[in-house]
Amino acid sequence: MSQDVRGGLLRRHRDFRLLWCGETAGRFGASVTGVAMPLVAVSTLHAGTFEVGLLNAAAWVPWTIIGLPVGVWVDRLRRRPLMLAAATVSLLLFAGVPVAARFGWLSIQLLVAAALLTGTAAVFFQTAYSAYLPSILEPDDQPEGNAELHGSASAAQIAGLGSGGLIAQWAGAVNGMYANAATFLVSLLCLAGIRHREPRVTRTGRRPKSLVDEVREGLRLIVVDPWFRALTLFAAASNLALVGYQSIQVVFLVRSVGLPPETVGALLAATGAGGVAGAFAARRVAHRIGTARATLLFELGLPMLGLLIPLTVGGAGILLFVAGGFSVSAGVVAGNIIKASFQQRYCPPHLLGRLTASTAFLSYGTIPVGALLGGALGTALGLRTAMALTTAGVPLAALILLFSPIRRTRDLPAFRMPTAPGERPSTAAGQSPG
């Protein structure tokens, strides 16, 4: 079966098609949430700037609080039931917001609580999903599967950002949350229709004695392995810079460049389309020049064009913003696809949940810091200077990869040998035991 036929997996693999539909629907819903929740806070509850910031931060806080133990639980349990439970929780919580408004119970405190709980469900879903995908795909199909999923996620994000405002305008900000809940219903139904059933989790060799020991095992995997260590440190530094400029780009375009809100929305959608292009290019470029070289190209080469962003001015000068943002988005998504395929094949299957959670804990932990940094730099130095510093940070973060083993090889390794007594090696089959 050809790996070069676009959409081949979607046509021939029923379970992957359902997983793809469910994940795409969930990503669309999450993107709509990013617009709808702040609109509810501002238009209905008349929340202040700090309260809206608190609402946005609430979705990321669970990664820093429970991300590490969730990785252990995902490795101990079957992944699909966890995903079903997380989708159900998100469905009920988002549907509960307009119900609470109908009875006069809606408040900013309740909205923050909903964001916190749905963020918690997202930690379980994303960690389980990352570890579940290799169990339904053969190793040779995993790069195509990751490309399909990341490409559709980028497209869903673009569509969700545009749809969120339209849904709120058509149905009202509060009632628009029903549309968000509906996307999780689609996700739930798709996951329920998957025929593949994971075997019961069994343990061989020496079993860690406690939850803390297993969390430590996941973190140790990142510390001792040079490939995981470089990719995780890079992700943390890259997120710091990415979120730093993304947190102030709207204000920059409105106040410094002088663009109307509708033009800003169109520009952000245009730059987001780079993620779709990156998803299409990732597998093909990696096959031609090697996965390690492609990683450097996407994470260091393309983001260099992000330096065009702070040069943006009115008129034809807005093309500088599009070119820079498009390139950064394409590089980030393509790099994530290569990284995901590498981790799924290189990591021992029984540690994949812990690896996913540990890398997310370390890399997502810089996201709120980046948001605060962007705002602080914009206040202290001015928006254009702050944009220059933060966009320069994106390619600078990739120097971590340049001074790692990635620079000295054509391809990322496919197998990992044990480095500690009782550790099992990764295998070519890449099949998860549970």
Residue 331 inside a domain? The answer is yes
- Structural domain including 16 reads 12-195
Would you give per-residue pLDDT tens digits along the chain (434 residues)? 334 444 477 677 888 888 888 888 888 887 777 767 776 776 778 776 567 667 767 777 888 888 778 877 887 778 888 889 999 999 999 999 999 988 989 888 998 899 899 989 988 988 888 778 777 777 777 777 777 776 677 677 666 666 666 676 677 778 878 888 888 899 899 988 888 776 665 555 555 457 777 777 778 888 889 999 999 999 999 999 998 888 778 778 888 888 876 677 678 778 878 888 888 898 899 999 999 999 999 999 999 999 999 999 988 999 999 999 999 989 998 998 898 888 878 887 777 777 877 888 888 888 878 877 887 888 889 889 999 999 999 999 999 999 999 999 999 997 765 554 445 555 433 333 23
Are 161 and 224 in a shared domain? no
Query: Helix H segments across 137-175?
Result: 142-171
CA distance 295 to 231: 10
Query: Helix H segments across 290-317?
Result: 291-296
CA distance 20 to 244: 30
Q: How far is CA 376 from CA 13, 296, 309, 387, in A?
A: 48, 30, 19, 12
Are 161 and 240 in a shared domain? no
Please classify residue 422 by burial: count the beta carbons closer than 10 Å to its beta carbon, then call 0-12 exposed, 13-18 middle and 19+ buried: exposed
Single residue among 161, 195, 229 that ends a domain in this structure: 195
Are 262 and 302 in a shared domain? yes
Single residue among 136, 163, 195 that ends a domain in this structure: 195
Residue 205 inside a domain? The answer is no
Question: Quick check: pTM over 0.75?
Answer: no
What is the amino acid identity at position 379? T
Are 215 and 185 in a shared domain? no
Compute the Cα dihedral for 174, 178, 183, 185 and give only its sign.
positive
> Structurally, how many domains does the chain consist of?
2
Q: Which two tokens stand for residue 193?
A: 């229709």
What pLDDT is recorded for position 431?
Answer: 31
CA distance 173 to 250: 21
| Ranges assigned E (strand) in 213-335 | none
Residue 223 inside a domain? The answer is yes
Single residue among 195, 225, 257 that ends a domain in this structure: 195
Are 184 and 229 in a shared domain? no
CA distance 127 to 360: 9
Are 227 and 353 in a shared domain? yes
Which residues contact residue 359 at a Cβ distance below 8 angstroms, ignoring those fewer than 6 apart? 222, 228, 231, 232, 235, 343
